[in-house]
Amino acid sequence: MPKIIQDAKAEILSAARNRLLHDGGFSMRAIAKDCGISPGTIYHYYPDAGTLIAMVLVEDWQKAYKEMQESAEHSATAGEALTSFIHIIRGFRNTFGTVFEQYGNRYGSRSVFDERHRELRKEIADLIHISLKNRNSEFKDEMIDFFAEMILAAGSHEELSAEAPAIMMDRLIRLEE
């Protein structure tokens, strides 16, 4: 008799995340075994391994984004919010770095990477707008995009300063006042 799973998608995502981050040996068959279901059940929800990996990343990115939203709304300064964004992105990158290295080339192309980068930059720019609006400040969109790109770069590269964008932002705000 087939196993009935209350929230099959969530259980599959959880098993996939565990395989990606801890166990290794990521395959649809291994994940099905972890869940006690047939591989066909996974394919019912996720057409291929690349889609399943992407959904794990999206789910965790949404959690990181929510954390950044809270920082944008509640940090004492816009610069403090930017530094927080960088540390949150670094945490996400550190968690999934090996996943990107292992599976990025297999399931992604340069055009997919470029499109996702543009989407991320827009998401970060939107958070910067929130942070500035909450502090009665405003910058031109080009400047916001520049800061968003800096945050993504600093979030992806530990050797770049996490504080430099914050210092620049806070100084520009003071000049504006």
pLDDT in tens, 158-174: 999 999 998 998 888 88
Contact 144, 125 (CB under 8 A): yes
CB of 16 closer than 8 Å to CB of 52: yes
Quickly count: other Cβ atoms within 10 Å of residue 93's Cβ: 16
* Nearest partner of 151 among 80, 92, 75, 85, judged by Cα: 85
Mean pLDDT of 44-70: 93
Spatial neighbors of 164 by CB under 8 A, at least 6 apart, are 150, 154
Cα–Cα distance measured from residue 151 to residue 169, given in angstroms and rounded to the nearest whole number: 11
Whether 30 shows a pLDDT value over 90: the answer reads: yes
The string of pLDDT tens digits covering residues 13-29 is: 999 999 999 877 889 99
Cβ proximity of 73 and 134 under 8 Å: yes
Q: What pLDDT is stored for residue 1 in this prediction?
A: 45
What is the mean pLDDT of the segment spanning 22-44? Answer: 90
Angle at 95 between CA 89 and CA 99, to 5 degrees: 110
Q: Which is more confident, 173 or 40?
A: 40
Least confident interval from 16-20, 109-113, 133-137: 109-113
